[in-house]
Amino acid sequence: MTISQKDAKEIHDLPWAPTFWLGNVGHYAFTCHLGGDDFEVTLRIPRPPEKEEFVSWGRPCDLAPIAEDFSLFCEPVRHAIRLSIHAECQEFALFTGSRLDRIVAHDAVALIGDASHPLSGALGAGAGFALEDVYALSRCLSWAWSHRWPLGVALEYYDRIRTPHYRDIYCVLGKVNEVEAAVAAENLDLDAEVQERVRRTDEARDNWVYYYEVDKKQQAPQVNDELDCPDQSAQQQHEAGPVEQDTALSPFLMLPDPEAHDEQDSMFMASSLPSLKSSASHGRRRMELPSEDVVRHVIDVYLATFNSVLPLFFPPSLHRVVDNWYCNATDRNGPLSWATMNIVLALARCHGHVQLSPNAVQAVDIAECLANAQLVLADVLAGDMDLQSIQILLGIGILFMGARPADVRAPIIFVSTAMRLVQAMGMHRGDSYKNTEPVEDMQRRRVFWIAYILDRDVAARTRQAPIQHDADMDLDLPPVNDEVAMAVAADVSDAGAGDDNDDNDDTDAGACARGLAKLNLFRARVELAQIQGRVYDCVFSVRARYMDAGEKARLAQGIRLSIQQWKARLPISLGVEFLSSQNENDGSTSATILPAVMCYMHSLMTMCLGQLCGVSSMEFHWIEEVLSYARGLGDYKTTPSFASPLSTIPPPPPSPQGWNVLVSQCREFTRLFLSIRSRHPTFVNVQLCPFTSSLLCLSVNSFLNFEDGNRMTDQRLMVEAATLLGEVMQQTQSEIVSKVLEVYMEFDWHLILLMTELTT
């Protein structure tokens, strides 16, 4: 409502400036002089949930019955309210809707304004948010239209820009709500309560919300122009909020400027690793490749190693691309072929480096190969939608996933774009394969499942919903007896085994000739991706927020059982005990790639189990409780007694459900990880989060269960893991790695003190 400025000026001590007047239990008043002769008076009156009425905005309201709610406010406010009773008053319902994981749906619907962010006007910037929505959506639509991409791709970019931004804002509001609840619980007098609310809210509120500028954070793409990546200096990153939420409108604009980062900010970023550069940073160049013999050697290594686990390319088709490139001069101008070969060279360098010849290692530079692929990416995406374009996008996504630890900005865009194209081509539907040739059918299905795997991988790392839902697809899993299946050394489980072992189900990894264990690693990886999707549904989805604790516990236990069954299907020759004792120097492909592949799968299981428990290097809440307990033991004085000292120690915080399963998995994963001596930086970067989480879990468990029979083994693993992370810390100055090492050392110190106390 408004009163006249003439009347407002007669109110003694009423500030002539926008002013919030805070009361208790959620009441506040706002006074502000407007244009003309108007002076605004706005009141907030919270209602109990049973009396809330979700009305349309601007309904006429009688102020007199609620004026008494502000009887404890100071005289200037009460005077303004008395004058307002006779003015025209309107009522606005102040309530929030559901917070959404995504603000797009069905590849055709996008929410903007209040529909996309139910923030109740708490930040006083609702109109600004709506304008940002419209700006981002319009640029996404314009870009997709000009590049002939389907509507779903444009909406996916829009969602990846705005949803993380609103999630950060929800966190800000959550901090404020926590402050208000904590202050209210202290039962302070009115003046002290208001003072504390103002002080703590000011400390909790993040000002970056008001400095965020969508037109500067996302630079709009222009057709046929070189695309510059947005500047992301350290100051801009600080003002704009969390760096990991800074997305862009296209794959080219996604990538941060490498010169804007500190030199020590890149994890193991040797010259052989890709820098996240935009295509414009290189300019046009001739499409050149290493010599033919080097390329063919690298291609062979790639097909025998990485492609045998994730069959992104069909070997005859890939060889045909190489043949055409070196035998047909006119084909050397083809951007698809050039991008494909550069991606394959980089993937082989990252994941098959042990098998490469010295000449190949010297000739193939990962950063240069990735830059080459980016250079022609605009041409690739501007062409027709085909399988090769999707393969290129997925390959680039894989490379960026290992380029910088915990940085999933580039994989989000490339993998999301690839998955949208997969859906646009109908590769998730069985009926789309009716008229395809057998070879094309097989390769399309493989590429779909690789996109599915990477989609789940990105979702697990970002804790956002995957794009492809299981209910919206009808493809069978990759066949058990696919030629992709890798032969493993003689299975030691067959020695002395009875005939009963010959009756394995098709899904059993031992379903093969006696004496030779085979496992379709590709199918096994798809099964883990399905488990990753179930973890998201159980822990991070909107449904999980409102799920009954008992139901969530049952779902989590079902996921743990699925992981246990997955591991039980492995032949002994793919177990941690066997693989960790293999000699990498024997030169065989299986001896070099199988331990690394299985280690990566164990890292995924470690991540899934950690997310179910809520314990990882990204989630310290329960670990902090155990640390507080450990610090309290230092002040605990045992009294003389004939009883055992153990009986005088107070109980620690209860362990989360599934803790012992998580610890056992961390032990296996750490052992296998450390047994692999030829660790490419990509190998470390991709698994750094579960590796640091494993060190944390083993440290906590060694303190809580100091009489465990695995204590000595765990101590050895922890020392070696801490040494490796110390090297990582020296190169990166990573805050997460630093905190993990600090927690490990503190738990080790508390364990020494505890054991000393018990022995004396």
Among 12-16, 206-210, 374-378, 498-502, the minimum mean pLDDT is found in 498-502
HEC per residue, 448-480: HHHHHHHHHHHHHHHCCCCCCCHHHCCCCCCCC
Residue 512 has pLDDT above 90, yes or no: no
**H or E segment and range at residue 104:** strand 104-105
Asked if residue 411 lies in contact with residue 428, where contact means CB atoms within 8 angstroms, the answer is: no
d(CA 242, CA 616): 20
pLDDT score at 239: 39
Confidence of residue 283 (pLDDT cuts 50, 70, 90): very low
d(CA 229, CA 710): 50
Helices (H) and strands (E) in the chain, counts: 28, 10
Angle, helices 681-704/589-613, rounded to nearest 10 degrees: 50
Identity of the residue numbered 729: M
Q: Which residue has the higher pLDDT, 599 or 17?
A: 599
Q: Model confidence over 635-655: pLDDT tens digits?
A: 554 444 444 455 566 788 999
d(CA 729, CA 418): 34
pTM score = 0.64
Residue 136 has pLDDT above 90, yes or no: no
Residue 591 has pLDDT above 90, yes or no: no
Among 122-131, 292-301, 511-520, the minimum mean pLDDT is found in 511-520
pLDDT score at 382: 79
| Backbone angle region of 517, left / alpha / beta, with phi > 0 → left and psi within -120 to 50 → alpha | beta
CA distances from 654 to 538, 645, 704 (A): 21, 21, 10
Q: Model confidence over 675-684: pLDDT tens digits?
A: 998 888 888 9
Instruction: Give the strand pairing for 90-91 and 104-105.
Output: unpaired
Average of per-residue pLDDT values in the chain: 78
pLDDT score at 49: 53
Those residues whose C-beta lies under 8 Å from the C-beta of residue 601, and which sit 6 or more positions away, are: 524, 525, 528
Among 95-99, 337-341, 598-602, 658-662, the minimum mean pLDDT is found in 95-99
Residue 278 has pLDDT above 50, yes or no: no
Q: How many residues does the chain have?
A: 760
Q: What is the DSSP string of 590-623?
A: HHHHHHHHHHHHHHHHHHHHHHHHT-BTTB-HHH
Of 339, 326, 334, residue with least CA distance to 295 = 326
Confidence of residue 530 (pLDDT cuts 50, 70, 90): very high
Of 294, 405, 307, 377, residue with least CA distance to 731 = 405
HEC per residue, 513-554: CCCCCEECHHHHHHHHHHHHHHHHHHHCCHHHHCCCHHHHHH
619: β partners? 616
Q: Which residue has the higher pLDDT, 718 or 161?
A: 718
CB neighbours (10 Å) of residue 585?
A: 10
Confidence of residue 116 (pLDDT cuts 50, 70, 90): low
d(CA 504, CA 271): 48
Burial of 591 (0-12, 13-18, 19+ CB in 10 A): middle
Q: Model confidence over 680-714: pLDDT tens digits?
A: 888 898 999 999 999 999 999 999 988 777 888 99
Of 602, 704, 714, 618, residue with least CA distance to 656 = 704
Among 10-24, 254-268, 489-503, the minimum mean pLDDT is found in 254-268
Q: Model confidence over 454-485: pLDDT tens digits?
A: 999 999 988 999 999 999 999 999 988 776 65
Please name the residue that has the structure tokens 């400390």.
Answer: 203
pLDDT score at 460: 92
Identity of the residue numbered 370: L
Among 130-144, 443-457, 559-573, the minimum mean pLDDT is found in 130-144
Among 114-118, 192-196, 580-584, the minimum mean pLDDT is found in 114-118
Asked if residue 226 lies in contact with residue 280, where contact means CB atoms within 8 angstroms, the answer is: yes
| Residue percentage of the chain with pLDDT more than 90 | 33
Please name the residue that has the structure tokens 């990252």.
Answer: 350
For residue 279, give the DSSP letter. Answer: G
Q: What is the DSSP string of 707-735?
A: T-TTHHHHHHHHHHHHHHHHHHHHHH--H
Of 78, 62, 82, 61, residue with least CA distance to 70 = 78
Residue 14 has pLDDT above 60, yes or no: yes
Classify 169 as helix, strand or coil.
helix
Q: Please, where are the H alpha helices in 546-588?
A: 549-568, 576-579
For residue 147, give the DSSP letter. Answer: T
Of 404, 307, 296, residue with least CA distance to 686 = 404
**H or E segment and range at residue 415:** helix 409-424
Lookup: tokens for 298? 């690298």
Of 347, 359, 368, residue with least CA distance to 301 = 347
Please name the residue that has the structure tokens 């003309």.
Answer: 36
Identity of the residue numbered 96: T
CA distances from 157 to 161, 247, 626, 724 (A): 6, 8, 41, 38
pLDDT score at 286: 62
First to last CA, the chain: 75
Q: What angle do CA 546, 552, 555 make, to 5 degrees?
A: 135
Please name the residue that has the structure tokens 């905190």.
Answer: 739
Confidence of residue 231 (pLDDT cuts 50, 70, 90): very low
Average pLDDT over residues 385-402: 92
Angle, helices 387-401/366-375, rounded to nearest 10 degrees: 140
For residue 518, give the DSSP letter. Answer: E
Of 249, 253, 278, residue with least CA distance to 141 = 249
Lookup: tokens for 304? 């025998």
Asked if residue 564 lies in contact with residue 488, where contact means CB atoms within 8 angstroms, the answer is: no
Asked if residue 111 lies in contact with residue 132, where contact means CB atoms within 8 angstroms, the answer is: no
pLDDT score at 59: 74
pLDDT score at 298: 94
Q: Which residue has the higher pLDDT, 495 or 350?
A: 350
2: β partners? 40
pLDDT score at 421: 93
Residue 272 has pLDDT above 70, yes or no: no
Confidence of residue 206 (pLDDT cuts 50, 70, 90): low
For residue 647, give the DSSP letter. Answer: G
CA distances from 92 to 46, 48, 54, 247 (A): 12, 16, 9, 35
Instruction: Give the strand pairing for 518-519 and 2-4.
Output: unpaired
Q: Please, what's the b/e burial string for 381-394 (b: 16 or more CB within 10 A of its CB; e: otherwise)? A: beeeeebbbbbbbb
